[in-house]
Amino acid sequence: MRAIVVERLGPPEVLEVREVPVPQPGPGEVRLKVETVGINFADVLAVAGEYLTRTRVPYTPGMEFAGTVDALGEGVRGVQVGQKVTSLGGRGGLAEYAVSPAAALIPVPEHFTAAQAAAFPVSYFTAYHGLKTLGHGQEGEWVLVQAAAGALGTASIQLAKALGMNVVAMASTEEKLEIARQLGADVTLLQDDPDRVQKVREAAGGKGVPLILEVVGGKRFQESLDMAANRGRIIVIGNASREQANMRPVELMKRNLTVTGLWLTSLMGDQEATRDAARALTSLVGSGRVTPQVGPTYPLAESARAFQDLLDRKTTGKVIIEP
Ligand code: NDP
């Protein structure tokens, strides 16, 4: 079968298409005929060797993919060959076939396209955990969503609005802000607006925002502290700037701020949090209030271009690759 293989870590150009053996599902695993793969910023960082965990090469990227169950490993129950599923926590998705733990499969809502199925798990579970599980967002509260037209950003706006929250959305271009407005953002601001700190504080009644989903990091992190309301909660979800932030803990004391880290991979091990998120998301998806925003779609052979476009901030919604 054809698969992307990374033999050395580096920029997206290290992604190469190779012929490799079809993987066999181990005990408790299933094999999928992959239709669509959702590409996350984490994939770009992992290939660059800059992710939270060490990337071992050679490997095939792709942690989020949708398709049809094609073979069952030993001991798998409750999953049928031929079933349409999406996987959160599988491996090697950028290939014609990939394996996933059966426990990591999520049934695909009937009205989702294959691309929407692959665009769903990472962004929506992360957004839910940021807004609710760790962020404790309440109806009527303001939340700041950065990189608002991206995969996580669009998911966060949709979920926040569906949960009755008010959204300040930030992004780098007017076109991206228009996407945020169409999804219901109440206030939109360019990331480089010279008065952004003051404008965010004013949007939330002059007091600053009580909840911030922080994905840019670097020197922008200090700004997030400045934009937060007293007793504000800043959920650190990403570091898209790839820069180090300087934070003096006394800054937190002055206004009773809380900074909480969120990593979906480790939260997936929390069965109660995962079950609660799944229940809430299933209900919102069923009510039609949550529709994954599909971005540009590329064939497997153009995976390097897909990764580069994501890195260059050229994409909106979830980047999809079709093996
Ligand atoms: P996106 O589709 O949001 O794409 C990344 C976006 O980051 C860009 O479009 C860009 O939006 C923004 N960005 C801001 N500064 C930079 C910069 N210096 N270089 C490049 N991009 C920049 O990707 P994802 O939805 O996959 O991820 C968004 C963020 O959330 C990432 O930081 C990612 O690591 C994090 N994340 C973390 C998870 C976790 O478990 N902790 C799970 C999922 C995502 P703009 O041009 O508008 O600024």
Q: Could you tell me if the CB of 191 is within 6 A of ligand 1? A: yes
Which ligand 1 atom sits closest to the C-alpha of 318? Answer: 2
Question: Is residue 247's pLDDT more than 90?
Answer: no
The class of domain 123-266 in CATH terms is: alpha beta
Counting Cβ atoms within 10 Å, is residue 30 exposed (0-12), middle (13-18) or buried (19+)? buried
**To test the ligand 1 pocket, which listed residue (41, 47, 265) has its Cβ within 8 A of the most ligand atoms?**
41
- For residues 217-234, one letter each, b for 16 or more C-beta atoms within 10 angstroms of the residue's C-beta and e for the rest, the string is beebbebbbebbbeebbb
Closest CA to 159 of 172, 145, 176: 145
Residue 299 CA to residue 321 CA, distance in Å, equals 6
Residue-wise pLDDT tens digits, 79-122: 999 999 999 888 899 999 999 999 999 989 999 999 999 999 99
ipTM of predicted complex:
0.98
Give me ligand 1 centre to Cα 78, in Å. Answer: 35
b/e sequence 275-304, b meaning 16+ C-beta within 10 Å: eebeebbeebbeeeebbbbbbbebebebbb
Residue with tokens 């060797």: 49
The pLDDT tens digits for 268-302 are: 999 999 999 999 999 999 998 899 999 999 999 99
Which tokens in the block code for residue 1? 């079968």
Q: Which CATH superfamily is domain 2-120+293-322 in?
A: Medium-chain alcohol dehydrogenases, catalytic domain (3.90.180.10)
- 2-120+293-322 and 123-266: same fold? no
What are the residue boundaries of the structural domains of the chain, listed by start? 2-120+293-322, 123-266
**Nearest residue (CA) to ligand 1, atom 27:** 41
